Amino acid sequence: MKIEYFLIRFCVIFCLFCSTVFARELTYIDAFLNPSKLQGSGELTWWGLHVYDASLYRGSSPNSAEFALDLRYYKSFRASSIIDRSMEEMKKFGVTDVQSQSWGRQLATILPDVEPGQNLTAIYSPKQGTSFYFEGKPIGRILGAEFPKAFFGIWLDPRTSAPKLREQLLGQGCPPSLFQETCN
């Protein structure tokens, strides 16, 4: 009887903790998307290694221009590695070396190193640019209309190097209007 009581108590405390963490995570996304709605999620693997889980959040209106992309890491990465890989991917969409270097310098002042279990979130709002969060706390913003198209294109552009992840993120929905893609 004592073991059953212990297990039940443990499960209740664990569930309360998990729901609190989940609610805390969405608070900052909800502030922008009022409220947020998960459109899709998936995982990025590389050579069989689970790198991160990605989730795409949209506002309650499917035509809303605002959206958020949350990445929960399963491997440790230095900020410089994340930035280098991001710039590499952006160049595939035609970003020039000069622009890539400029954005890379901006990201270097924003992005931290990440450890397994930590998350980075980028939220796009046409009026406020691209805001970055680490573990739910604001860490910086990049203004301008070209950056979000290139940055979020890493995951959402039809030419992404991770088409399976893109499909999972979009689910049955359309891509954000930032990508001006026709949707059935």
| Proportion of the chain in helix, strand, coil states, percent, rounded to 5 | 45, 25, 30
Local confidence pLDDT in tens for the 184 residues of the chain:
554 433 334 333 333 333 333 334 568 898 888 889 999 999 998 888 999 999 999 987 767 889 999 999 999 999 999 999 999 999 999 999 999 999 999 999 999 999 999 999 999 999 889 999 999 999 999 999 899 999 999 999 999 999 999 999 999 888 998 887 667 5
pLDDT at 64 (0 to 100): 82
pLDDT at 118 (0 to 100): 97
The full set of domain ranges for the chain reads 2-177
Q: pTM of the predicted model, to two decimals?
A: 0.83
pLDDT at 41 (0 to 100): 96
pLDDT at 101 (0 to 100): 96
pLDDT at 13 (0 to 100): 37
Alpha carbon distance 154, 89 (integer Å): 6
Alpha carbon distance 44, 71 (integer Å): 10
Nearest to 126, CA basis, from 97, 154, 152: 152
pLDDT at 96 (0 to 100): 95
CATH topology of domain 2-177: Chalcone isomerase (3.50.70)
pLDDT at 8 (0 to 100): 38
